Amino acid sequence: MFAKEVYWQRRKMLREELGDGIILIPGNEESSMNYRANTYHFRQDSSFLYFFGIDKPGFYGVCDVDNDKDTLYGNDSDIDDIIWMGEQPAVSDLAARVGIDSSASLKELGDVLKQALKSGRKVHLLPPYRGDHMVALAELMGVDYEGVKNLVSQELIAAVVKLRSIKDLSEIREIEKAVDVASIMHTTAMKMAYPGNYERELAGAIEGIALSHGGPVSFPVILSMDGQTLHNHYHGNELREGRMVVCDAGAETAMCYASDITRTFPVGGKFSTQQSDIYNIVLKANTETIKASIPGRTYREVHLMAARIIAGGLKELGLMKGDLDEAVAAGAHALFFPHGLGHMLGLDVHDMEGLGENNVGYSESLKRSEQFGTAYLRLGRELEPGFVITNEPGCYFIPALIDQWKGEHKHAQFINYDQVEKYRGLGGVRIEDDVLITDAGSKVLGTPIPKTVDEVEETMKV
């Protein structure tokens, strides 16, 4: 937990952003796997963590904008809780740890909310993303699910996005810790990527590393020789010489800040010429666009620059042809780079995605593209100092997509389909770093993780 002044200040700024009413931020509850008492790892709601700091289930935070007052609601533990979970701090003690001098039970929260709605006060909610939130909120406020949805407040979403988008120094330090753990995860996976090992052995080892450093992985490990499947969670393949492993994985710190790193490495420790040709194109897209990520530039421009670099590299290899600007404007590059360059990173690995991707990544003046490929760009808007973002260009050979486009002669003026066939079985390459936007430009966070062909091969030497 940060110092209580941090949470106090964040709530004060939040209240100041809203005109009037009551802000209600529910914390998460335990979530069951296969029967009620067998629960998943508990994950607190990130906005609740940001403003109320308490990493335990069963709490609600209220900021009363009209009366400049914050209250923590929750029930004190009873003897059964103490028997099974040990001594638990009182709700009032937890409140004091985050700078709140007012606390009350959940029954009282229900009364306060019902009274507020009855008297016509505005109750501001963030979009609920768990079914149990909907049920609990409807019950607390005595409304139906439509009634809960009607309280979702665009004003509150905008205020939370504004505050959480700019990371302060202590948050940046947390993210760097998470990147440092990811560095150990990725170099371990590289060293294990030898023929005869199974993907699941690498995935299990790196998940264990995250756990042994105090947090879980920040999202389910993506690790596969079939890296052309962008989010591949199947880890059942035996590693074979001649293939590359795409490993996209990060850790969460004990304070729930995330890292999100991708490295691609050759099974057996040596890239083939064809693999390193594609790898170096993606590497150039990664390094050049990190340099180009500066305040005032939109991330969509940076994304399109990555697309241009990838298309340029593929043209040199004979896979693309024609005018590169026209090819990128038409979206021809998306056969090979069908996703976005990156997203915000923070308490969520896709930071604040629960508040709506467009609310986080786009603005009144910049709307999301509808073109295949660029439409998947999660963050398009102008970069600001204090943003932490991912930079993750990739180049993939997706047989089903190649067949579909080739069958339709799609962008045939820009794509040499005969040449593409020679790369059909290559899989994919993705390289991802976590990047802070600074006043002067940008900075890759954390311990450098082997990234060039030489660095990766050197790391993999046994």
Residues that bind ligand GLY (CB under 6 A): 219, 248, 260
Give one word for 132, left, alpha or beta, with left for phi > 0 and alpha for psi -120 to 50. Answer: alpha
Q: How many residues are there in the chain? A: 462
Nearer to ligand GLY, 103 or 253 (CB): 253
Amino acid at the residue 111 = D
Give the Cα separation of 9 and 80 in Å (integer): 36
Give the Cα separation of 199 and 192 in Å (integer): 9
Q: Write down the least CB distance from residue 223 to ligand GLY, Å.
A: 11
Nearer to ligand GLY, 113 or 347 (CB): 347
CB-neighbour burial class of residue 139 (10 A; exposed 0-12, middle 13-18, buried 19+): exposed
Burial state string for 413-427 with b = 16 or more CB within 10 A and e = fewer than 16: ebbbbeebeebeebb
Burial state string for 320-352 with b = 16 or more CB within 10 A and e = fewer than 16: bbbebeebbebbbbbbbbbbbbbbbbbbbbbbb
Burial state string for 3-14 with b = 16 or more CB within 10 A and e = fewer than 16: eeebbbebbeeb
Strands, E, within 11-117: which ranges?
22-26, 32-35, 38-39, 60-64, 69-73, 103-104
Instruction: Report residue 111 as tokens.
Output: 């009364």
Q: Write down the least CB distance from residue 356 to ligand GLY, Å.
A: 16
Q: Write down the least CB distance from residue 210 to ligand GLY, Å.
A: 14
The helix (run of H) or strand (run of E) holding residue 176 is helix 169-192
Give the Cα separation of 296 and 436 in Å (integer): 14
Q: Do residues 43 and 7 touch, judged by C-beta distance below 8 A?
A: no
Q: Write down the least CB distance from residue 361 to ligand GLY, Å.
A: 13
Which residue matches tokens 């501001």?
Answer: 124
Nearer to ligand GLY, 232 or 442 (CB): 232
Q: Write down the least CB distance from residue 393 to ligand GLY, Å.
A: 12
Nearer to ligand GLY, 199 or 260 (CB): 260
Nearer to ligand GLY, 263 or 381 (CB): 263
Partners of 217 in beta bridges: 251
Give the Cα separation of 427 and 234 in Å (integer): 15
Nearer to ligand GLY, 136 or 344 (CB): 344
Nearer to ligand GLY, 58 or 428 (CB): 428
Q: What is the DSSP letter of 99?
A: T
CA proximity to 393, closest of 333, 438, 450:
333
Q: Write down the least CB distance from residue 213 to ligand GLY, Å.
A: 18
Nearer to ligand GLY, 103 or 390 (CB): 390
Q: Write down the least CB distance from residue 452 to ligand GLY, Å.
A: 21
Nearer to ligand GLY, 250 or 450 (CB): 250
Nearer to ligand GLY, 58 or 227 (CB): 227
Nearer to ligand GLY, 45 or 260 (CB): 260
Strand, coil or helix: what is 97? helix
Which residue matches tokens 């579909």?
Answer: 404
- What are residue 229's phi and psi, to 5 degrees? -90, 115
Q: Write down the least CB distance from residue 358 to ligand GLY, Å.
A: 17
Q: Write down the least CB distance from residue 219 to ligand GLY, Å.
A: 6
Q: Do residues 262 and 345 touch, judged by C-beta distance below 8 A?
A: no
Q: Write down the least CB distance from residue 378 to ligand GLY, Å.
A: 8
Q: Write down the least CB distance from residue 44 to ligand GLY, Å.
A: 20
